Structure 1
Amino acid sequence: MHPKRIVVGSLVLLAWALPAAAQLAGDPPVGRAAAVPTVPAAGTLLTLEKAVDMAMAANPSLRASALDIVIAGAGRRQAGLLPNPTISYTTEGTQRGTRTRTFELSQLVELGGKRRARVELAERDSRLALAAASVARAELRADVTAAYFNALGAQEQVRLAQTSLDIASKARAAAEKRVAAGRVSPVELSRAKVAESTARLDLSQADGELLIARGLLTAYWGQAQPGTLALVEPVDELAAVPSLEDLRTRLAGSPQLQRARLQVEREEAQVSVDRAQRMPDVTLVVGRQKDEEMGRTQTVLGVSLPLPLFNRNQGNLQASLARADKARAESDAQQLRLDQTLTSTYQRAQLARDQVRTMRQEILPEAQRVFDAAVIGFEAGKFNFLDVLDAQRTLLQSRAQYVQALYDSYRFSAELGRFADAGTGATNTNRITP
């Protein structure tokens, strides 16, 4: 075979490989998120659904998860490629009439199903990247929901503090009337003014906590200045949480457990790759040798095969088998941990919902009636100001307990949604007025 023919054959092989390279070069570049929803203007209403949508579109962690999927897809493409052939040229001797020139073309042939095992592992990595993205979305949804209800609770604390200030002002006005009429000591007015100043300080602190809570919420979609967004409270009647048995059934299909199962499959695929590596690969050689002194050429054929005397990939295989066992143990531990978390969160959610109903239907109306009666009785001279302060303190404590119970109910419902789609009762919007 003439050396030019060997070169031509090599060019043919290169031309055969060019379409794959052209396909890679023609792939669109991976960029940042294409569109980010418009941030609501200051003073506008922000629903939970809008907050979640904005975080899903603009959160950097989700963009990183999407790029992990692209990376895994590229690895899958690379895993299916064949080894490149090798062209070699050697010469023996330096004198023109006595030297021997050899042209060789060698090709590595993978044995033992290495390429198939490698592709299977890359496919498992792709599925694992998709599962990780699902977990990231579920975690982000739960985090944004919790942050939303945290800010909503802070917003309710501001409203409660404002109500407390109004109540204290009302009590102070009643004390001024009684002191002006000479019916009580000026000490009662001093007490009322202290209570009003304390309520004003509480309002200032509640405003600061609301600003912090809004900042934590808006950070999920990259908004540096939280502004004065008004959060919309869920419907008056809290939606029913599914039963614990139903939630456990949904838990089996949760993104966390799906990722754990795919991790086990991925490690098992790695075992197949390391097991296939025990089989040595064959290198086939074909070429042409020309002896210029004798003026003759001859075909060169060869095959090379490494002898697996020492390295049979036994260490990597043992490690991959141990990693597969570890992945199974971690999957079982994840199942147990999620089941325990689901059970405790469900019980806390039920307790919080019961507290909300009790506070809303019994305690708050009665505390309001007691306070109104104390103020009226104080103005009529039937009660002293200590009775008014005691009724005021009971009413404010009841309102604070109600807001905390309401926040806990929403927060635990959001935690349930982290592992199973339990809903948060926030599909419609309305005001909740204690």
Structure 2
Amino acid sequence: MAMSHPAIAAADAAVRQAQGRAYQACLSPNPTLQYQADEVGNEGSAGLHSVGVSQSIVTANKLALANQTLRQVVQQRVADRERTRLQVLTRVRTAYWNALAAQKQAELTDQIVDLAEQSLQSVQDLLDAEEVSKIALLQARVELENARIEAENAKVRADVARRALAAASGNDSIGSSHLVGTLGAGLTDRPWDRWLQTIEATSPELAAAGSELERARWALRLACAQVTPNITGQIGVGVDTGSDDTFARFGISVPLPIHNRNQGNIRAARAAIAAAGASIDATRLDLASRLSQSITDYQTALQRYHRLNSQILTDAEETFELSRQAFQAGETNFLQLLTAQRTLFAARLNVLDAAKQAHVAAAAIDGLLVSVDSPN
């Protein structure tokens, strides 16, 4: 899934593009072939004809410096590719937990429909025995229809969530697949205090920011080297058609760095170094802030899940069972049974939601907190 995803394929192409530019930067300029004719037609003469070659000689190690500057861009694109891979992975993980939770919720609403149908039949039997009023029957019918509506809506949400998972993973077949998994799996306390060090050591965002700082430093060295002018040498041979004499041509040209000593680019490169250093600090602070928020989200959802699953759900199940027995024995009315039933299934839905929220928060941390708001 990962390497075949179009977003990762595009990021990989960007790496190759940067590699090509870095390679191009270290290539020496081509020589120039020249033909020159002088004094053509002077006193009927065919003139002087010569052929020569000129070559620009790059000085001050500029080619190597340019290559090193662009190699840092390659490292940035590599970090961007890793960030994209983590974005895709985080999207898939998030979409999976959303889809699994939606599927479980749809299954739960089916159970609510089954229970509502059983309750309606029980009320009908009691009504036939003249042990309850028609009001209870009407309430049971309303509850059943509401349960059916919720079940239908839950199925729609599950289908939409599976399609979102298929889009995130780039696998269309997932959209019609039954997902396998347990929402409660892996929901344990983790040593989050060590996560910031791990993220700072492996974050592609910090890696890209560090490469930008190195690029800026190499760019400053290149800007300083460009003060030294390149040299252009010429050599050639010619013939004087009037005397049939041959002659050689030699030449050398060097720009004089009088007015332009690359001052503006040097200043810009120094400012870029300062900006890149500040960007690293800003990225580190942003990662710490995102980690803090994700840890808060995870711990909150985890505590909610454990509290719901271990205490509230148990009490709700017992309350419902006792209410059902009391209703069948004629010791309570249908409204109390209905309230207990709604409380039970609300607790079960809340358990699923808390587990989903915990997994989504964990997915963000496992993905090194990369933003998934945009493909890049």
CA separation of 1:375 and 1:187: change in aligned 2, threshold 3 A? same
Which residue of structure 2 lines up, in the alignment, with residue 220 of structure 1? Answer: 168
Corresponding residue number in structure 2 for 1:60 = 6
**2:114 is the counterpart of 1:150:** no
1:257 Cα shift?
A: 1.3
Is the 1:288–1:297 Cα contact (8 Å) retained in structure 2? yes
Provide the residue aligned with 2:29 in structure 1: 83
Residue 336 of structure 1 and its aligned partner are, at CA, apart by: 0.4
1:265 corresponds to 2:211: no
CA contact (8 A) 2:35 2:51 kept: yes
Q: Which residue of 2 aligns with 1:299?
A: 248
Partners of 2:53 and 2:262 in 1: CA distance? 28
Corresponding letter in the other structure for 1:310: H
Quick one: distance in 1 between partners of 2:76 and 2:166?
30
Contact 2:29 2:56 in 1 (8 A): yes
Q: Secondary structure at the match of 2:259?
A: coil
Give the alignment of 1:19-418 within 5 angstroms.
Answer: 54=1, 56-95=2-41, 97=45, 99-224=47-172, 226-234=174-182, 236-253=184-201, 254-418=203-367
Using structure 2 for the length normalisation, give the TM-score. 0.92
Deviation of the 1:292 alpha carbon: 2.6
Counterparts in 2 of 1:279 and 1:242: CA distance versus 1, 3 Å: farther
Q: How does 1:422-433 map to 2 (within 5 A)?
A: none
CA displacement at 1:227 relative to structure 2: 3.9
Post-superposition Cα deviations, 1:67-98, rounded to whole Å, max 9, x if no partner, equal 11211221122122111011111111234645
- Which SS does the other structure have where 1:309 is aligned? coil
After superposition, give the CA deviation of every residue in 1:41-91 in whole Å (9 maximum; x if it has no partner). Answer: xxxxxxxxxxxxx2x033110000111121122112212211101111111
Distance 1:303 1:149 in 2: 71
Q: CA shift at 1:354, angstroms?
A: 1.7
Task: Determine the C-alpha separation between the residues in 1 that align with 2:32 and 2:185.
Answer: 74
Q: CA deviation at 1:342?
A: 0.3
2:251 and 2:362 mapped to 1: Cα distance? 70
Query: How far off is 1:340 after superposition?
Result: 0.8
Give the Cα–Cα distance (whole angstroms) in 2 for the partners of residues 142 and 227 of structure 1. Answer: 18
Describe the superposition over 1:270-309 as per-residue Cα deviations: whole angstroms up to 9, x where unpaired: 2222222222110011112322324322222111011222
Q: Deviation above 6 Å: which 4+ runs of structure 1?
A: none
CA contact (8 A) 1:290 1:296 kept: yes
In the other structure, the counterpart of 2:374 is none
Identity among equivalent positions (%) equals 27
1:130 alignment partner, SS class: helix
Q: Give 5+ residue unaligned stretches, structure 1.
A: 1-53, 422-434
Aligned partners of 1:106 and 1:286 also within 8 Å: yes
Kindly provide the amino acid, as one letter, of the partner of residue 82 in structure 1: S
Shift of 1:366: 1.6
* Shift in Å, 1:405: 0.4
Q: Which runs of 5+ in 2 are unaligned?
A: 371-376
Asked if the contact 1:154–1:209 (Cα under 8 Å) also holds between the matched residues in 2, the reply is yes
| Equivalent residues of 1:128, 1:262 under 8 A apart | yes
Take 2:166 and 2:270, find their aligned partners in 1: how far apart are those partners? 45
SS of aligned partner of 2:276? helix
Distance in 1 separating the partners of 2:23 and 2:95: 40
Does the 8 A contact of 1:86 with 1:105 survive in 2? Answer: yes
In 2, the alpha carbon distance for the partners of 1:223 and 1:419 equals: 24
Q: Do the aligned residues in 2 keep the contact of 1:215 with 1:225 (CA within 8 Å)? A: no
Alpha-carbon contact 2:101-2:183 (below 8 Å) kept: no
- Which whole-Å CA distance do the structure 2 matches of 1:153 and 1:308 have between them? 69
For 1:205-263, what per-residue CA distance to the aligned partner results, in whole angstroms no more than 9, with x for missing partners?
01111111111110134345654311122475525353232101101122221121112
Residues 234, 258 of structure 1: alpha-carbon distance in 2 compared, 3 angstrom cutoff = farther
Amino acid at match of 1:311: N
User: Aligned partners of 1:357 and 1:380: how far apart in 2?
Assistant: 34
Contact 1:89 1:104 in 2 (8 A): yes
Q: Contact 1:247/1:420 (CA < 8 Å) preserved in 2?
A: no
String of CA shifts for 1:360-380, please: whole Å, max 9, x gaps: 221112211111111111111
Determine the C-alpha separation between the residues in 1 that align with 2:312 and 2:169. Answer: 39
**Distance in 2 separating the partners of 1:397 and 1:221:** 31
Query: Is the 1:271–1:320 contact (alpha carbons within 8 Å) kept by the matching residues of 2?
Result: yes
2:89 maps to a residue whose letter is R
Q: Report the aligned-residue RMSD.
A: 1.9
Distance (Å, rounded) in 2 between the aligned partners of 1:364 and 1:315: 69
